[in-house]
Amino acid sequence: MHPTLLLRLAALALAFLCARAPAQHLPLKAYGQAEGLGNLSVTVASQDAAGYVWIGTQNGLFRFNGTGFRRYGPAQGFPDKIVTALVDGRATGIWAGTYENLYRFDGGRFHSVRFDGKPIEVWPGQPIAATADGRVLVVARDRLVEITARGDVRAYFTPERIRAHPGLATILSIHADADGALWMGCGTALCSVDRGRVTVRDGKDGLPADAWSSILRDGEGTLWVRSATHVFVLPAGAARFQERTPAEIRKRQLITEMRLDADGRVLTNADDGLLRWQDGRWQLFGRQNGLDVGGGVTAILQDRERGIWLGTLGRGLVQLLGYGNLENWTRSQGLPNDVVISVLRDPRGILHVGTRSGHAWQVPGERRFRTDPPSPRTRRRNGAAWRSTRTATCGRAPTAAPCSGARRRTAGPRWSRGGRRSTRCWRTAAASGWPRKRACRSSPRRRPSPPSVTNRPPMR
């Protein structure tokens, strides 16, 4: 088979097996000034109904059309610099917030929205939510404002309701459930409004006092809330919150982000990368996976093609290519070489990869590959790989360490010249499963018998 075709088939096989593997080197594409993104400090990201990706930065608003970015500025009705919020309002289009104003995009221009004749100031966090019936809810500084489908702007809570529940006077974040229920970070507690009834969740419900800045509900009905340093969940039907704070958010995030991917897994930003909740634990994607987020992840977007976009502080916009479908490994995850020659998953679920610089394997549940000592030759016997080197080492692949001072054993006895002792290696099954242990024993080497002379032709 042609070598180029063989390499391509090996790469396809590796991609096919990746769906069953843990964390790998992420296939990434970075967007910056070369693509028209004029500022590399991304603050927010969203996607509109037409499929365009909108990016807010610390110095302007940009729209990505698949090949490059276009800036929206004063000529398009958007004079402000720092973008604090971006939300697709479904039927009402894109809404953009800044420290000075709230804007609505009509397909061609942005228009400022006012409340009682004054600009609506939108601060960072999770300040805008679109409801299923076409309303848009905005946290204007500390107050909750409702914008109806007809464009009417009004306060959501009456003064009497705020006096009855003082936490409603300091709203930090807003989330709208599919059934119309609202959840808000209010003061140092969590407030909900369902069919006009206000409920306050706090320490008596297992939720500590904190500034809850990110809220979402997953596909199983679990409510997730996050502050700068804590993550708590309220499972469907449960009465008390449970803590799920990962160890990777020791620092206080300037902006907290929580999103769901297409498979319903929760994504949130960490000190140095991205966290994903899967199979009852957090998985971290960071520098060890090739993800350099500069000052941190500041925005997470799941597009309609299942792709993930990450806004970073100082590194621009990063797209995770083939998220959920394709993943890959490199030397950063322990492979001896980035050039892959062959791929095999054995009956035990162990992934074996042959590279230009040798063999590596990955045990199920581990994140990195293990490697064998360098070996120029590999031979198989009874389905296992036996190797020999010029330094006379042997072992079964995969191994934790080779037997030293020995040659490989073939089907029959193999003796070396000189009559010295030879070490013979074999395999013994370990009771605990993988990896299998090996034992070595020594046996005297026999001097080979000289060639028979009985059948030699007579000398002339």
Q: What is the pLDDT of residues 174-187, one digit of tens each?
A: 999 999 999 999 99
Which residue, chain included where needed, has tokens 């500084």?
141
- Determine the average pLDDT of the residues in 34-41: 95
pLDDT tens for 257-272 read 999 998 899 999 998 8
Amino acid at 245: T
Decide: 95 and 89 in contact? Cβ < 8 Å. yes
* Total number of residues shown for the chain: 460
Find, among 325, 297, 327, 331, the residue nearest to 313 by Cα: 297
DSSP output for 122-188: B-SSB-EEE-TTS-EEEEETTEEEEE-TT--EEESS-HHHHHHSGGGGSEEEEEE-TTS-EEEEETT
- Scored b (16 or more CB within 10 A) or e, 231-240 reads bbbbeeeeee
Find, among 275, 213, 217, 207, the residue nearest to 247 by Cα: 275
What confidence tier does 365 reach under pLDDT thresholds 50, 70, 90? confident
390 contacts: CB under 8 Å, gap ≥ 6: 376
Residue 433: what pLDDT? 40
Residue 111, token pair as written in the block:
């228009």
Find, among 129, 34, 37, the residue nearest to 88 by Cα: 129
DSSP 3-state percent helix, strand, coil across the chain (nearest 5): 10, 40, 50
20-34, 227-241, 326-340, 370-384: least confidently modelled range: 370-384
Decide: 6 and 275 in contact? Cβ < 8 Å. no
- Determine the average pLDDT of the residues in 367-371: 85
- Determine the average pLDDT of the residues in 367-393: 51
Residue 355: what pLDDT? 92
Mean of all residue pLDDT scores within the chain: 80
- Determine the average pLDDT of the residues in 125-139: 93
Decide: 128 and 95 in contact? Cβ < 8 Å. yes
- Determine the average pLDDT of the residues in 336-341: 88
**β 297-302/281-285 pair status:** unpaired
pLDDT at 273 over 60: yes
Residue 113: what pLDDT? 96
Is the peptide bond prior to 435 cis by the omega test (within 30 degrees of 0)?
A: yes
Residue 258: what pLDDT? 96
Q: How far apart are CA 378 and CA 424, in angstroms?
A: 17
pLDDT at 442 over 60: no
Angle at 408 between CA 404 and CA 410, to 5 degrees: 160
pLDDT at 193 over 90: yes
pLDDT tens for 145-172 read 999 988 899 999 999 999 999 999 999 9
144-148, 298-302, 410-414: least confidently modelled range: 410-414
pLDDT at 437 over 80: no
What confidence tier does 374 reach under pLDDT thresholds 50, 70, 90? low
Residue 333: what pLDDT? 79
Strand order, beta sheet including 351-355: 340-345, 351-355, 358-362, 370-371
Find, among 327, 286, 328, the residue nearest to 310 by Cα: 286
Query: Greater confidence, 253 or 171?
Result: 171
76 contacts: CB under 8 Å, gap ≥ 6: 108, 109, 110
The DSSP output letter for 3 is H
